């Protein structure tokens, strides 16, 4: 489908003066995602503090306590809505006392920014096992000018109280961002703008998997679907330097507050496996990408392009998949995405090398041969509307593995695993993306 992506995106993005854009109306656009994999503690967190004081029992889960989740919107609007989820719970969970505010530092909020959140006009919502719910729109009074430079990179604090016991908690393990939680039994503390009630920290996100902003009609989101290399393993804790973050900053520099980059990576994820997944039969890498398209792609608003980087885990000793199994799953998934969202451009990304990895499940020659075969398919099959060659950007052509400067890990230090690029590697990957794939008009600076 040569050239298809250019036509799709070019027609979606025409920068207008703010007043003219407003006349055309506004729409919801995804600005952040934390694809869920639960139930806690099944998953692959990074730099996780000891959670036994905040959550003494994984079976009981949260108990009459308040979360303050910290996340970074990719773009800002004057109204937001959040999606709560009990996707991998085994019992109903009631959430109340929800607020959103601007993070000052740690769990403290900028004074006067915290705003209550309602659900169908009520201050509480009960999520049955397996279900999710969007909040009502909440006005962000502190967003006086969504395009203001000082908002770029600022973080939103989403606070909410779990009434009673939650049971097994739906979560995103690898946030690489510090969030906060009260002690069990502390009650509803989300309205407080100070930090005194939040003694415990976590490097994961719980019960919230998406945030959307009301944006001008010419705005849209680029979604990145993948595994730990999209999720950001070995990047800097609280540094926001995963390759999708680098792409987001490049797009913002060119086009302003109009294009979100939304990260739907899950550490350990596979394209085709496992064949079964659920709260009673979980897997650390979450449900197969093929199984999570509805929740993590199709139900998010304003997604007009998707970059898919995945496959190394399918060929690991945890996956043991054939190349045909993975390419068949890719074909089915792309066909389904195009049928459900025909205007969305789907960009394939080549899989980076794990050759020589210290991980017991990775690094063996057969895996690398399968990876090369998958990359040939991504480059030449014509399945995708465009291709990003991450493999070419980071490979050491002499050894066949990652370039040595991309190996030492950036999260907690150490020699690295030759599977996950570090901050330097992710920077290189983000810079290697040809922005002409998105063929956008430069925003008018005023």
Asked whether the beta carbons of 231 and 421 are under 8 A apart, the reply is: no
How much is the pLDDT for 385?
95
How much is the pLDDT for 308?
98
Largest CA distance in the chain: 61
Residue 222: name the closest of 183, 167, 261 by CA. 261
Confidence of residue 338 (pLDDT cuts 50, 70, 90): very high
Residue 172: name the closest of 241, 108, 228, 125 by CA. 228
With a cut of 60, say whether residue 396 has pLDDT above it.
Answer: yes
How much is the pLDDT for 438?
79
Q: What DSSP assignment string belongs to 146-158?
A: TT-GGGTT--EEE
Confidence of residue 17 (pLDDT cuts 50, 70, 90): very low
List, for residues 35-59, the tens digit of each pLDDT value: 999 899 999 999 999 999 999 999 9
Distance separating alpha carbons of residues 15 and 258, to the nearest angstrom:
9
Count CB atoms within 10 A of the CB of residue 434. 10
List, for residues 316-331, the tens digit of each pLDDT value: 999 999 999 999 999 9
Distance separating alpha carbons of residues 268 and 418, to the nearest angstrom:
15
Residue 283, token pair as written in the block: 């897997």
List, for residues 116-151, the tens digit of each pLDDT value: 999 999 999 999 999 999 999 999 999 999 999 999
What pTM, to 2 d.p., does this model score?
A: 0.94
Higher pLDDT, 260 or 24: 260
Confidence of residue 439 (pLDDT cuts 50, 70, 90): low
Residue 250: name the closest of 176, 152, 173, 370 by CA. 152
How much is the pLDDT for 444?
37
How much is the pLDDT for 247?
98
The residue-averaged pLDDT of 225-241 equals 98
List, for residues 269-282, the tens digit of each pLDDT value: 999 999 999 999 99
Confidence of residue 209 (pLDDT cuts 50, 70, 90): very high
Q: What is the mean pLDDT of the chain?
A: 93
List, for residues 346-358, the tens digit of each pLDDT value: 999 999 999 999 9
With a cut of 50, say whether residue 222 has pLDDT above it.
Answer: yes
Distance separating alpha carbons of residues 124 and 71, to the nearest angstrom:
22
Asked whether the beta carbons of 102 and 238 are under 8 A apart, the reply is: no
Distance separating alpha carbons of residues 233 and 62, to the nearest angstrom:
26
Residue 169, token pair as written in the block: 């908690």
How much is the pLDDT for 435?
92
């Amino acid at each position: 489908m040569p050239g298809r992506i250019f036509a799709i995106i070019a027609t979606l993005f025409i920068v207008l003066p703010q007043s003219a854009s407003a006349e055309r109306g506004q729409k919801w656009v995804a600005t952040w995602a934390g694809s869920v994999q639960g139930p806690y503690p099944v998953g692959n967190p990074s730099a996780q503090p000891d959670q036994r004081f905040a959550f003494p029992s994984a079976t009981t889960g949260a108990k009459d306590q308040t979360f303050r989740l910290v996340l970074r919107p990719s773009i800002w609007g004057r109204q937001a809505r959040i999606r709560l989820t009990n996707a991998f719970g085994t019992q109903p969970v009631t959430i109340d006392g929800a607020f959103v505010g601007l993070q000052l530092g740690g769990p403290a909020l900028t004074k006067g920014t915290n705003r209550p959140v309602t659900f169908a006009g009520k201050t509480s919502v009960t999520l049955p096992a397996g279900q999710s719910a969007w909040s009502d729109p909440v006005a962000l009074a502190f967003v006086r000018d969504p395009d203001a430079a000082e908002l770029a990179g600022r973080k939103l604090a989403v606070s909410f109280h779990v009434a009673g016991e939650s049971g097994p908690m739906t979560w995103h393990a690898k946030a690489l961002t510090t969030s906060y939680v009260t002690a069990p039994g502390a009650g509803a503390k989300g309205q407080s703008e100070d930090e005194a009630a939040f003694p415990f920290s976590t490097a994961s996100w719980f019960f919230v998997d998406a945030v959307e902003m009301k944006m001008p009609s010419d705005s849209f989101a680029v979604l990145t679907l993948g595994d730990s290399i999209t999720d950001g393993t070995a990047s800097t804790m609280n540094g926001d330097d995963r390759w999708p973050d680098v792409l987001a900053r490049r797009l913002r520099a060119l086009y302003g507050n109009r294009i979100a980059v939304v990260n739907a990576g899950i550490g350990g994820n596979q394209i085709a496996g496992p064949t079964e997944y659920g709260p009673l039969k979980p897997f650390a890498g979450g449900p197969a990408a093929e199984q999570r398209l509805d929740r993590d792609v199709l139900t998010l608003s304003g997604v007009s392009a998707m970059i898919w980087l995945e496959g190394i885990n399918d060929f690991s000793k945890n996956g043991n998949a054939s190349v045909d199994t993975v390419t068949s799953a890719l074909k089915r998934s792309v066909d389904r995405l195009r049928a459900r969202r025909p205007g969305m451009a789907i960009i394939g990304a080549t899989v980076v090398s794990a050759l020589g990895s210290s991980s017991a499940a990775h690094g063996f020659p057969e895996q690398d041969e399968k990876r090369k075969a998958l990359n040939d398919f991504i480059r030449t099959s014509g399945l995708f509307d465009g291709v990003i060659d991450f493999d070419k950007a980071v490979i050491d052509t002499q050894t066949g593995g990652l370039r040595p400067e991309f190996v030492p890990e950036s999260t907690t230090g150490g020699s690295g695993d030759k599977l996950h690029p570090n901050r330097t590697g992710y920077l290189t990957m983000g810079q290697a993306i040809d922005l002409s794939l998105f063929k956008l008009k430069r925003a008018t600076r005023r």
